[in-house]
Structure 1
Amino acid sequence: MNRFLSNITNRIDAKGRVSVPAPFRSVLAERKIGELFCFQDFVFPAISAGGPELLDRFERQIVADDPFSPEANQMSLLIHGGGVYMKLDAEGRLMITDFIRDFTGITTDVTFVGRADHFQLWEPNTFQAAQAEARRVRGLGGGRT
């Protein structure tokens, strides 16, 4: 397995840490990702997290455009100004910092959401609502009512 798939909700401990789900840690290990690049998602109230290739992808886009253009400057503002590096501790936990809490509204639980080459951190109820809305917009039934 070399992609981040599914969604899993874990509780934040008393010290503000949350265990990254084992399937996600396996992908991180397989890809040899030791440090996560995390940024505020452009569309959703979620933090996106991935390896250095995630940051590289955005930087290639900035360079492909005129790096002095308003679009490139806006992308840099979002990616560089809205991004941080984070590391898991020895037990595979991630600190849920104010950077994460303030942008997502996360309080006691975190939903980890696979997005193929990266994953996201969501407030659980917000994720459920966004997923239900995506199903509705796409005309897909099912799920809980």
Structure 2
Amino acid sequence: MFRGATLVNLDSKGRLSVPTRYRDQLIESATGQMVCTIDIHHPCLLLYPLPEWEIIEQKLSRLSSMNPVERRVQRLLLGHASECQMDSAGRLLVAPVLRQHAGLTKEVMLVGQFNKFELWDETTWYQQVKEDIDAEQSATGTLSERLQDLSL
């Protein structure tokens, strides 16, 4: 399980160094093999260990290519999916087209989200956090049953 937000740097070749606290887990569970794709709702990237991504691929394969909405989701997620192998120094190369989608330049937030990471431009990440907090503080709608049962 991945949790927490960590500032990492992209080097001049577009590689990011995976924090050491995740490296052993990624080597053990995925032999360092990762898949990166775009997030279709936010300007960030999704980074999955290969076994987790294969579960997503199975779900995507069950969608109908004849349904325009389902086909669009398949096209966006699979079409942008890029395999990346963690090197011996614990670095991952993020493809240029993916870096461009998320506006990644130098400072990147690596955000743990259970079975995957999100990769955000640092400034965009903090803007999103502020928007999310503001939205929660001004929310007047009814919480879903799952959120009502969540006790923090």
- Give TM-score, length-normalised by structure 2: 0.79
Query: 1:87 Cα shift?
Result: 1.1
Sequence identity, in percent? Answer: 25
Specify whether residues 95 and 56 from structure 1 end up closer, same or farther in structure 2 by C-alpha distance, changes over 3 A only: closer
Query: 1:106 Cα shift?
Result: 1.3
Query: 1:36 Cα shift?
Result: 0.7
1:20 aligns with 2:18: yes
Higher helix proportion (structure 1 or 2): 2
Alignment of 1:1-145 (within 5 A): 3-139=1-137
Question: How far apart are the structure 1 equivalents of 2:113 and 2:102?
Answer: 17
Specify whether residues 15 and 37 from structure 1 end up closer, same or farther in structure 2 by C-alpha distance, changes over 3 A only: closer
Query: 1:139 Cα shift?
Result: 1.9
Q: What is the one-letter code of the residue matched to 1:8?
A: T
Query: 1:122 Cα shift?
Result: 1.0
Question: How far apart are the structure 2 equivalents of 1:43 and 1:22?
Answer: 29
Match of 1:143 in 2: none
Matched-pair contact (CA < 8 Å) for 1:45–1:103: yes
1:82-125 CA distances to partner (integer Å, 9 max, x unpaired)?
Answer: 11111111100122431232111111111101011000111101
Unaligned ranges ≥5, structure 2: 139-152
Question: How far apart are the structure 1 equivalents of 2:31 and 2:134?
Answer: 35
Question: How far apart are the structure 2 equivalents of 1:101 and 1:11?
Answer: 13
Question: How far apart are the structure 1 equivalents of 2:94 and 2:61?
Answer: 32
Question: Greater CA deviation, 105-114 or 26-35?
Answer: 26-35
Equivalences, count: 138
1:11-32 CA distances to partner (integer Å, 9 max, x unpaired)?
Answer: 2234442211112223313423
Give the number of the structure whose alpha-carbon radius of gyration is greater: 2
Specify whether residues 96 and 61 from structure 1 end up closer, same or farther in structure 2 by C-alpha distance, changes over 3 A only: closer
1:7-52 CA distances to partner (integer Å, 9 max, x unpaired)?
Answer: 1112223444221111222331342342111100111111111123
